[in-house]
Amino acid sequence: MSGALAVLNYNLVGYRRTWRGSALTSFVLPVLFVLGFGVAVGSYVNTGQLGGGTYLAYLAPGMIASTAMQVAFGESTWPIQTKFTWVRTYHAMIAAPLAIRDLVFGDMTFLVLRVVSSSAVFLFVTSLFGAVHSWWAIGVLPACGLLGVAIAAPVFAFTATMDSSTNYFAFLQRFIVIPMSLFAGVFYPISKLPVFLQPLAWASPLWHAVEICRAATHTNHGSLWALLGHVAYLLLWAVVGLWLALRQYRRRLSD
Amino acid sequence: MTSADSLIHARSLVKRFGDFTAVDGIDLDVRAGEAFGFLGPNGAGKSSTMRMIGCVSKPSAGTLRILGRDPERDGVAIRAKLGVCPQQDTLDTELTVRQNLTTYARYFGIRRRAARAKADELLDFVQLSERTDAKVDSLSGGMKRRVTIARALINDPEMVLLDEPTTGLDPQARHLVWERLFRLKQQGVTLVLTTHYMDEAEQLCDRLVVMDGGKIVAEGAPRELIERYSTREVLEIRFAGDDQSPYAEKLDGVGERTEVLPDRILVYAPDGDAALVSITDRGLHPSSVLVRRSSLEDVFLHLTGRTLVE
């Protein structure tokens, strides 16, 4: 526990220097996108099919979740590979009295803080534009944190298998992350997807997080059982992902 | 010596990577306060041994006790008392010199204020006080090495492991590092280092092992090894012309042993000047002559050969 906190401390010391740059991609650009798109395109959208309300109010919770996924993906690829390969931060850490789980949980805690803090700013700004209709909207933050772990943990495991000459992050980005952000109910209900694509949306962690965030920010929160189902699905990804990450970290670092 | 007195106790220690055997059944005992060296060409198994001693790599077979404990069970507890200076620097180049030390101190559970004080004390020790707030990125190779050594001392370790501490440094930086390591030794810190620099081993080590092909091929104090595997002096002679080998036959019986190199002949003899006299008595007149003391390098090349290891 204290080991993981020491790893978190290392990340925070570094972040004090880089947070301004990351703020731009973590919420400034997404906020501009959601306002531009939500307000302008929203004026053409017949929101009757979306259950009433403005398109902005429909889009904002989806974009918050989608951005949380992007931040989690970004933080679990290059920064993690650097720790394995170029700077060899992890090698320095395991020479000290830290266990492999301290590395995984320390870095994951930092990632969750990054995801939740950028989601919080995003949520606050969109609420100023009338996109939030319930105090339950605060539930967006734990939902995004959980989505962050569900996405990042398996990517941690994947990154642990990369060496300096092999990286398939661009591949993951193009064939998994971007399609997920397009087809997981961020911009329109997945019932509008062709029937054969719908199971892919159900399988994606993002869709479940979008559903939670939308239920939290709208006046109609939907059924509690559906919500619990979404949370359980994300938890499953998080737990299996962490198990895989611990296994791959061990393989990589203890020969 | 019993295993309880040894900081490092190894019997038939083996490390395999797939089919390749990096460390092939070595026995070791390192006492508290000793400066102990691993000498050997690249690929001899020095770093693999160091990683097992540092409790970051599992032995494939054999017994290993570090600080009297089992690395497999008590790895974290053992590492809390070790200082490690790895072969490659693992500093965060984007952080300042001090931040590198204070963040590392936290891994040992050292509190913020104590970490800062300790960092400043150690940066003074490695003569980097002026660069405390500089980014590591801006430092020279020698300075980075000193930061790594300072970082290895952050927890007042019982034993410091140094994997090629001065490889790649210029002579000034090497001497400064040696001088600091010597001071640590005087303070009673146990030093364990690997090197392929003979002068480094002679300067720093009380005792050393020569490794080759994963095995220990010789063990002893530097002076002992020279006496055992070499002569007191070496006479280096060169004859005019390209080929030295015809002259070698004519040197039979001069010195204990001769070795023909492409550009010169080495005559191993207790007294180099006397050997030279007997050579000129045979009517041979080398174009250049050097008499020198035998060094650990002669022992090393004798034991591990002159073949280049890539």
Q: How many domains does chain A have?
A: 1
For A72-103, the pLDDT digits (tens) are: 999 999 999 999 998 899 999 999 999 999 99
Pick the CATH number of B231-293 from 3.40.1130, 3.30.420, 3.30.530, 3.30.70: 3.30.70
Q: Is B76 on the interface with A (CB under 8 A)?
A: yes
Secondary structure of B50-108 as H, E, C letters: HHHHCCCCCCCEEEEEECCECHHHHHHHHHCCEEEECCCCCCCCCCEHHHHHHHHHHHC
Predicted pLDDT at A135: 86
Residue among A2, A7, A88 minimizing CB distance to B90: A88
Q: Is B86 on the interface with A (CB under 8 A)?
A: yes
Interface test with B, best of A91, A100, A250, A253 (most B CBs within 10 A): A91
Residue entry with tokens 């095995």: B215
A74 neighbors A115 (Cβ within 8 angstroms): no
pTM, two decimal places: 0.89
Predicted pLDDT at A3: 93
Beta-carbon contacts of B163 under 8 Å, excluding residues fewer than 6 positions away, are: B46, B47, B50, B85, B86, B87, B193, B194
For A111-155, the pLDDT digits (tens) are: 999 999 999 988 998 888 888 888 889 999 999 999 999 999 999
Closest CA to A76 of A254, A242, A251, A255: A242
B102 contacts in chain A (CB < 8 Å): 13
H/E element, A217: helix A205-217
DSSP B308: P
Predicted pLDDT at B306: 65
For A177-215, the pLDDT digits (tens) are: 999 999 998 998 888 889 988 999 999 999 999 999 999
Predicted pLDDT at A43: 80
> Cα dist. B253→A94, A119, B268 in Å?
57, 86, 11
Predicted pLDDT at B307: 63
> Cβ separation of B80 and A97 shorter than 8 Å?
yes
DSSP B221: -
Predicted pLDDT at A42: 81
What is the pairing mode between strands B207-212 and B215-220? antiparallel
For A2-59, the pLDDT digits (tens) are: 899 999 999 999 999 888 888 777 778 777 887 888 888 888 887 777 766 788 888 9
- Give the percent of chain A with pLDDT over 90: 61
Predicted pLDDT at B2: 53
Predicted pLDDT at A131: 83
A7 contacts in chain B (CB < 8 Å): 107
Nearest-neighbour CA in chain A from B157: distance (Å): 11
B38 neighbors B209 (Cβ within 8 angstroms): yes
> Cβ separation of A89 and B92 shorter than 8 Å?
yes
> Cβ separation of B103 and A13 shorter than 8 Å?
yes
Q: Between A and B, how many residue pairs show a Cβ–Cβ distance under 8 A?
A: 69
Render A138-159 in DSSP notation, one character per residue.
GGHHHHHHHHHHHHHHHHHHHH
Residue among A6, A253, A254 minimizing CB distance to B107: A6
Predicted pLDDT at B303: 83
ipTM value, please give it: 0.90
- CATH of span B3-226: 3.40.50.300
A22 contacts in chain B (CB < 8 Å): none
Burial (0-12, 13-18, 19+ Cβ within 10 Å), B40 = buried
Residue among B17, B86, B107 minimizing CB distance to A255: B17
* Integer Cα distance of A180 and A186 in angstroms: 9
Q: Which residues of chain B have pLDDT under 70?
A: 1-4, 306-310
| Residue ranges of domains in chain B | 3-226, 231-293
Q: Is B84 on the interface with A (CB under 8 A)?
A: yes
> Cβ separation of B86 and A87 shorter than 8 Å?
no
> Cβ separation of A95 and B58 shorter than 8 Å?
no
Number of residues that this document lists for chain A: 255
B57 contacts in chain A (CB < 8 Å): 254-255
Predicted pLDDT at A57: 87
Q: Is A97 on the interface with B (CB under 8 A)?
A: yes
A106 lies in which domain range?
2-253
